[in-house]
Amino acid sequence: MSYFRVIIHKKAVKELKHLPKDIQARIIEALKEMKYSPFSGDVRKIRGEEAYRRRIGDYRIEFILDLEERTIAILRISHRRKAYKK
């Protein structure tokens, strides 16, 4: 089975560490799923950007997908009210 390499940006790791343990576990499980199927779950393209987002309850995983290199770059992990602010 072919899979994607997941690269997590330092900022995303820091944001993940500040979340409650139960939310961290759900997000880590979602990242493991994305390794095999990046579009599994509630994934949508972010309007006006080259990035996508995956919804995990009230939290969002923002990522960029490179199909040629088979990599997923995790940019941010944040609450939905902060996810779309610049």
* Sign of CA pseudo-dihedral 26, 29, 35, 41: negative
Residue-wise pLDDT tens digits, 37-84: 999 889 999 998 899 999 999 999 999 999 999 999 999 999 988 776
**What is the tens place of the pLDDT at every residue in 30-42?**
999 999 999 988 9
Nearest of 15, 16, 38 to residue 27 by alpha carbon: 16
For the chain, what percentages of helix, strand and coil (3-state, to nearest 5) are there? Answer: 35, 35, 35
Looking at domain 5-83, what is its CATH homologous superfamily? RelE-like (3.30.2310.20)
Rounded to two decimals, what is the model's pTM?
Answer: 0.89
Residue 82 parent element (H or E): helix 80-83
CB 31: neighbour CB atoms within 10 A?
Answer: 20
Q: Which run of H or E residues covers position 52?
A: strand 52-56
